Structures are given as C-alpha cells and as structure tokens.
Structure 1
Amino acid sequence: MITTKFNGNQYFSLDKNIIETHIDNKWVIAFVTRQLSFKEEDRLLPDGTIVKVNDFIDDITPQEIENGTKTVKEYCLANKNENLYFEYLLAISQEDEKLNVLKEKKKYEIQTKRDEALESGLIYNDHIFQTREKDKQNIIGAATNLMFDIQSGTNSISEIIWIDINDEKVTFTPQDFLKFASSVAYHTQEIIFRANALKERIEQAKSEQDLEAIVWEE
C-alpha cells in the first residue's frame, strides 16, 4: 500500500494530488505490503487530560522506499507527466544527490528529443518520408528484396513506388531507392550517435550549470 514515511498515512492508490502533497512537504513515499508498527503512548492534552495514542514507528526499509519511488515513476509515465516524477525525486533527495537526479532528468529529455527526431521524417529529393520504426523496417525490407533481385541478375524490378508523408507517390529507380535506403540508415545512425554523445557529456557534468549548457540542437 502507498505509505507516507513521515507519519504512516496510507493510500489505496496514487494520484497527482498525493504526489504533489509529498513534494510540497518533502515527504518520502514508500510501498508497504505488511502491517505498520505503532507504539501506544500517553499524551497530555492542553486541558490536562491524558489520552492514549498510537504513534507511528518509522521502520520503513530502503527496499520499501525504492518500491515507492518505482510506483511514483510508473504512475507518472502512465499519465505522461514525467516532470512530476523528477520534481518528486528532487524534493526527497539530499543536496549531494540532486545533481544525479538532474542528470537523470536531462538524459530523459535528450532521449525524448532523440525519439522525436527519429520519427520526424527525412527529406529526400524534395519529399518528406516518414521514418517511424515500422516505416524504416519497410524500407529496409524493400531494399533487401531489391538487392537480391540485382545480385541474382534477373533485374525484374525496374522501379519502386514509395509514398511520402503527404500520400504522394514517388517513383524510384532501383539504384536511387538503394541510395534512399542508405540515407534513411545514415539519418538514424547520426541521430543515435548525437544522443549518445550528449548523454556522455551529461555523465561527465560536474554542476547544474554544466547540465544547462547541454542542449539538443535541431
């Protein structure tokens, strides 16, 4: 069950308001699958009355905290609110841990930019072609069949018609289609290499200022 490490409050499910409350108070969220520990004590009220209360004993384990953080991350990813996850991490982190959290956040931002670039399309001969993963697989498959046809000597394929992003038919000669497929492969490789280089710079960053200087240039 979702549990506040500070006071033992428990919740059946996680939502944005609960996470924001923990961010505001810098409270740690744990995920506990056992009964919590309480100690009965006498407490003196302002009017002089003594009452018995059950005080929460904070025996939350590191594993339960790790499971709580994982639950927060899963919720935020499922609801496309990754920034909320990083806000939570920063709120509960010690000062000497915050740079690592900021590095994780920056790497996520670079990964997002990389994925957007990989799927944003490729301009070839004044046409924009889709470069989603399934599109690249189709291009590779067509290029492979074309190479087999050329190598076999049959040369039965005289042209290939491909559809650009605007659903316009584009006619390729066999050689030009192979150049097109090579351009798609190079485009993909260049984006991946650029992202990896930025991630290496993130790992080597020594300060928040170093991280701010690392940006994905369009």
Structure 2
Amino acid sequence: MLISKKFMSEQGELNKKVIDWAIEVKTQLATVDRILNVNEDGEYIDDITPEEIQAGTHAIKEYCLANKNENLYFEYLLAISQEDEKLNVLKEKKKHEIQTKRDKALESGLVYNDHIFQTREKDKLNINGAVTNLMLDMQSKANSISEIIWIDINDEKVTFTPQDFLKFASMVAYHTQEITFKANALKERIEQAKSEQDLEAIVWEE
C-alpha cells in the first residue's frame, strides 16, 4: 500500500493526483507491503523504513517515466528534499534535460548531399553493417559492389558509389561522436556546479 509518511495515511492507487498532493503538502510516499503497527488509539505508528521510502520513490519514478512526465518526478524530489539535498536533485534534473536534448539531436537525422538521412540507433547499425560488407568486398578484390542504394528520411532512394558511402558513414560516426562529446562536456559542468545559478547557465545550444 501507498502511505504518506507525514500523515501516516493510506493514499490508494498511485496516480498524478496523489503525486500532486504529495508535492503540495511536501510528504514522502512510501510503498509498504506489511501490516503497519498501531498505537492504543488505533493510529498508525511512524515506523516507515528508508527502504520503504526508497520503494515509494522508485514507484513514482516508474509511473512518471511510463507517462512521459519526468518533470513531475523531479518536482516530487524537490518537494521532499532537504535544502542541502536540492542542488543534487536539480543536477539530476539538468542532466536528464541534457540527455533528452542529446537523444533528440542523435535521432534528428543528418544532411548529406541535400538529403536528410535517419540516424537512429538502428539506422547506424544498418549503416555499419553495409560498411562491413563493403569493406569485405573491397578486401576480397572482387569489387562486386559497384553502388549502394540507401533510403533517405522521405523514403527516396539515393545511390552511392562505394567511396561516397564510406564518406557518408564516416560523417554519421563523426556526427554521433560530436553530439555525445558535447553532452558529456555539459554533464561534467553540471557535476561541478556549485549553485542553482551555475546550473541555469548550462544550456544545450543548437
């Protein structure tokens, strides 16, 4: 069951309304799988364990991720955190923002010879597979591959020579590396931030 530590009351099923309420009253929510102890008046005794609080926080995180509402999770963390813990929560929030921007940049595609090509993870795997086949063909001296046809983001067929395709694959790899390094550099700055103002100054520039 879901228990408010501040009020020692059951909250029913986990949903946005419950999380919003917990944020408003600044109460931790715990997941408890046992019978709670009561006093002589029949009221719950606050013997909530750190593990039960952690389980509640994990459940909230999973709920927010499943509903694509990560900001709600960070709002909850900020609401229940002590003042000396809030900077770390803000750092985690900022890192999540940078990671989201990184993933969007990685998947937004690459312009090559006036065509936009998809650069999602599965697309890069396909490109690497084609490069491997091409290199094996070159090493065998058979040179049976004279052209490679690839599909751009608009489903238009684009014909590459072997050398041009290798150049294209190299640009895709460089594009990925550049974005990844950029995100890692920003995350390092986040780790080193000493204040909320330091964090606000860290932005992903397109």
Structure 1 partner of 2:148: 160
Compute the displacement of 1:56 (Å).
Answer: 2.5
Match for 1:102 among 73, 90, 98? 90
The structure whose residues are more often strand, as a share, is: 1
Identical residues among aligned pairs (%): 75
Q: What is aligned with 1:47?
A: none
In structure 2, the partner of 1:19 is 19
SS of 2:38's partner is strand
User: 2:194: which partner in 1?
Assistant: 206
| Aligned-partner residue type, residue 181 of structure 1 | A
Contact 1:111 1:195 in 2 (8 A): yes
Paired residues for 1:40-51 under 5 Å: 40=40
| 1:82 aligned residue | 70
CA shift at 1:2, angstroms? Answer: 1.1
Residue 12 of structure 1, CA deviation: 4.0
- Residue of structure 1 equivalent to 2:117: 129
Q: Structure 1 residue 57: deviation in Å?
A: 1.3
Unaligned runs of 5+ in 2: none
Q: Give TM-score scaled by structure 2 length.
A: 0.98
Query: Aligned partner of 1:70: which letter?
Result: H
Question: Does the alignment pair 1:73 with 2:61?
Answer: yes
Asked if 1:151 corresponds to 2:143, the answer is no
Q: CA deviation at 1:185?
A: 0.7
Partner of 1:118: 106
CA contact under 8 A between 1:7 and 1:56: conserved in structure 2? no
Contact 1:6 1:27 in 2 (8 A): yes
Unaligned 5+ segments in structure 1 are: 41-52
Aligned residue number for residue 46 of structure 1: none
TM-score (norm 1): 0.92
- The residue identity in structure 2 corresponding to 1:145 is N
For 2:131 and 2:168, the matched residues in 1 are separated by 9
> Counterpart of 1:123 in 2: which secondary structure?
strand
Are residue 190 (structure 1) and residue 198 (structure 2) matched? no
Inter-partner Cα distance in structure 1 for 2:60 and 2:7: 18
Structure 2 CA distance for aligned equivalents of residues 155 and 62 of structure 1: 65
Contact 1:160-1:177 at 8 Å conserved across structures: yes
Partner of residue 33, structure 1: 33
- Give the match for residue 50 of structure 1: none
